[in-house]
Structure 1
């Protein structure tokens, strides 16, 4: 897997546009300012991914939405228990609810994030991209992330990690948004960007 610095910068800018749109959508929904870190676009081994992002044996919730349109793949929103509580508090304004209701709120938020993200990228590339209804799963981070890449025929030892992190009130949300393209889609995206 080899890409030039210019190609990686182009992908990062595209993800920055998508993630910024997603952050704006969340901000409007919860009526609070949500910020986004500069997106990460890197080629990492799974071991590096587990060292840099999250340990493979951390238990998390993954909300996965398949991408429907000219480019295939998935959006994976990974959240810890703490982030589920943070997001549910933001969405439900502190209303006491069951864990299932919190997960449902996070799943709906993930749907809005995925479609906002894809809408912005679709406009940039002049294609229509939407996401399927999200599915939420509780598992170890390593199992979630590796099965998501494998589902899209990515069997390499290294993966292109494309992700956004969000913050609010200067607190980091233990949540990451991953774009997992089907094999060959990255090359098509780079070509569409003209780099």
Structure 2
């Protein structure tokens, strides 16, 4: 089992590179879905204490849209695709061809967010699988729009006594002047972090 406190710069650089490639492929998948050019800023990839995740989303009471997956196969854990509420409205507006991003999200928007989360997370996991040679599968996505603290309580309850580290891939996507801030969180259990690093040849 990997001591996550002792990961060195090489380990972190490799995790960042995985995040960069995965996020780039996810952006390409979104562009293909929309049939338009989507620009992506260089992702910010870092290893976070789980307790700091809510802060990156604006605090525990910030309303976010979360698409949640169980990760199975050679790695066990969760994937969470989280958008702040403004980015959620912009993204669904782009998908629906709307210019009014102020309206409240409805059931059709929720369905669209779930589908986008499924496509982007699936693309990310496919990239991870290709890079590592690991067999990885995702569960059917679950969508929740709620305060960040409430959404994050799901993996906290499931893995709170196993690992306190998550890999954050913070991505900014642009369609013209419209900016969507997308956050991918990979939350493997502690043993799976070791499997991931060993598959990349950076951990014995």
- Cα offset for 1:55? 0.8
- Cα offset for 1:185? 0.9
Q: Any residues of structure 2 matched to 1:113-124 within 5 Å, and which?
A: 113-124=120-131
User: Which of 100, 103, 108 is the equivalent residue of 2:107?
Assistant: 100
Tell me how far apart the structure 1 counterparts of residues 54 and 132 of structure 2 sit (CA, whole Å): 32
**Which residue is equivalent to 1:55?**
59
Tell me how far apart the structure 2 counterparts of residues 103 and 145 of structure 1 sit (CA, whole Å): 19
Tell me how far apart the structure 2 counterparts of residues 183 and 170 of structure 1 sit (CA, whole Å): 40
8 Å contact from structure 2 (residues 63, 145) kept in 1: yes
Query: Is residue 126 of structure 1 aligned with residue 133 of structure 2?
Result: yes
**Which residue is equivalent to 1:20?**
24
8 Å contact from structure 1 (residues 75, 179) kept in 2: yes
> Which stretch shows the higher mean deviation, 126-135 or 21-30?
126-135
**Which residue is equivalent to 2:166?**
160
**Which residue is equivalent to 2:83?**
79
Tell me how far apart the structure 1 counterparts of residues 72 and 55 of structure 2 sit (CA, whole Å): 31
Query: Residues 124, 32 of structure 1: CA spacing in aligned structure 2 closer, same or farther, 3 A cutoff?
Result: same
Structure 2 length as normaliser, TM-score? 0.83
Instruction: For residues 26-61 of structure 1, give each alpha carbon's deviation from its aligned partner in whole angstroms, at most 9, with x where no partner exists.
Output: 111112314143232123362x44444421111212
**Which residue is equivalent to 1:33?**
38
Instruction: Report the RMSD for the aligned CA atoms in angstroms.
Output: 2.3
Flag structure 2 segments of 5+ consecutive residues without an equivalent. Answer: none
Flag structure 1 segments of 5+ consecutive residues without an equivalent. Answer: none
Query: Residues 150, 36 of structure 1: CA spacing in aligned structure 2 closer, same or farther, 3 A cutoff?
Result: farther
- Cα offset for 1:181? 1.1
Tell me how far apart the structure 1 counterparts of residues 121 and 185 of structure 2 sit (CA, whole Å): 10
Secondary structure at the aligned position of 1:41 is classed as strand
8 Å contact from structure 2 (residues 166, 185) kept in 1: no
Structure 1 length as normaliser, TM-score? 0.87
8 Å contact from structure 1 (residues 26, 113) kept in 2: yes
Query: Residues 152, 170 of structure 1: CA spacing in aligned structure 2 closer, same or farther, 3 A cutoff?
Result: farther
Query: Is residue 140 of structure 1 aligned with residue 147 of structure 2?
Result: yes
Tell me how far apart the structure 2 counterparts of residues 154 and 178 of structure 1 sit (CA, whole Å): 18
